[in-house]
Amino acid sequence: MNTEREKKTHSPLTGRKYDSVDNFLAGESVSHDVRDLVSKLDNETMIVQNLIQMRRMAGLTQEQLAVKIGKTQGAVSKLESSSDREITLDELQAYSQATCQEIMLYIGKPMNHVDSVKFHAFGIREHLLSLAKMAHVDGDLEQSIQAFFGEAFFNILTILGKCQNEMPNSNDVQVRMKSIGHPIKQQKLAKFAETVPA
């Protein structure tokens, strides 16, 4: 096979730098067929990549994590170079505990886009209600939560506006918010919400 290949020679550096492998593959014009194959392989190690990310966010080396979960660095290294199919629930739990981070597992029928939006909307409502309950505990907290509600309100409307603009024949929807010195009061937000058409 090697006889077909040119002899390897040293030349000056290319000077082309990339901050991710995806950018490197695109910038170096790697064929779409090869990039598709790489993506397929990436999909088989998504959970493992998340575990590595969890360890990184916890500021732990493989060795430090191994001590925390009662394994050797070799075992952690093996796990982090395996595919998702080989990971056990015990290992997920060990990473979760060692890094003090949550791993969420979804069990149920695959959701379509509309179901997903509803699912997340209900989730957002639950969290906002919990925050509203917390606001009753002390004044400082109330102010911060009030400010967060204003921010969240604006961000959600902005997302909706941007998505609406992607629709065919859409009129340009723009969400504007004036900078206000004090956190917006909830009543004002509610009134503002009433003026936005459903």
Partner 1 sequence: MWQIEPVPQWERDKKWYEKKRPNELAAVLHNLKRYFAQLNASPNPKSFLAGYMHPEPHGVVALDQRGGGGNLQETRLYVYPHEERKVLYIITIGNKDEQASNIQFCTDFVESFDKNG
14, 169, 174, 187: which one binds partner 1 (CB under 8 A): 14
Among 46, 61, 130, 133, binds partner 1 (CB under 8 A): 61
If one asks whether residue 6 binds partner 1 (CB under 8 A), the answer comes out as: yes
CA distance 29 to 124: 41
From 26, 37, 134, 156, residue interacting with partner 1 (rule: CB under 8 A): 37
In 3-state terms, what secondary structure has residue 53? Answer: helix
Name which of 160, 192, 198, 197 is nearest 177 in CA terms: 192
Count of residues for the chain? 198
User: How many alpha carbons lie under 13 Å from residue 112 in its C-beta half-sphere?
Assistant: 1
Which pair of tokens denotes residue 28?
A: 């170096």
- From CA 62, how far away is CA 48, in angstroms rounded? 13
Q: Does 85 bind partner 1 (CB under 8 A)?
A: no
- Give yes or no for residue 72 binding partner 1 (CB under 8 A): no
Measured from the CB of residue 81, what is the shortest distance to partner 1 in angstroms? 4
Under the binding rule (CB under 8 A), the answer on residue 17 touching partner 1 is: yes
Q: Determine the size of the site formed for partner 1 (CB under 8 A).
A: 51
Q: Does 141 bind partner 1 (CB under 8 A)?
A: no
Contact status, residue 66 vs residue 75, Cβ threshold 8 Å? yes
Residue 21 interacts with partner 1 (CB under 8 A)?
yes
Which is closer to partner 1, CB of 25 or CB of 147? 25
Which amino acid, 131?
A: L
- The distance of closest approach from Cβ of residue 95 to partner 1 in the complex, given in angstroms and rounded to an integer, is 13
Identify the burial level of 159 via C-beta atoms within 10 angstroms of its C-beta, where 0-12 means exposed, 13-18 middle and 19 or more buried. exposed
Binding residues vs partner 1 (CB under 8 A): 1-2, 4-6, 8-22, 24-25, 28, 30-31, 33-34, 37-38, 40-42, 44-45, 48-49, 52-53, 55-56, 61-63, 73-74, 77-78, 80-83
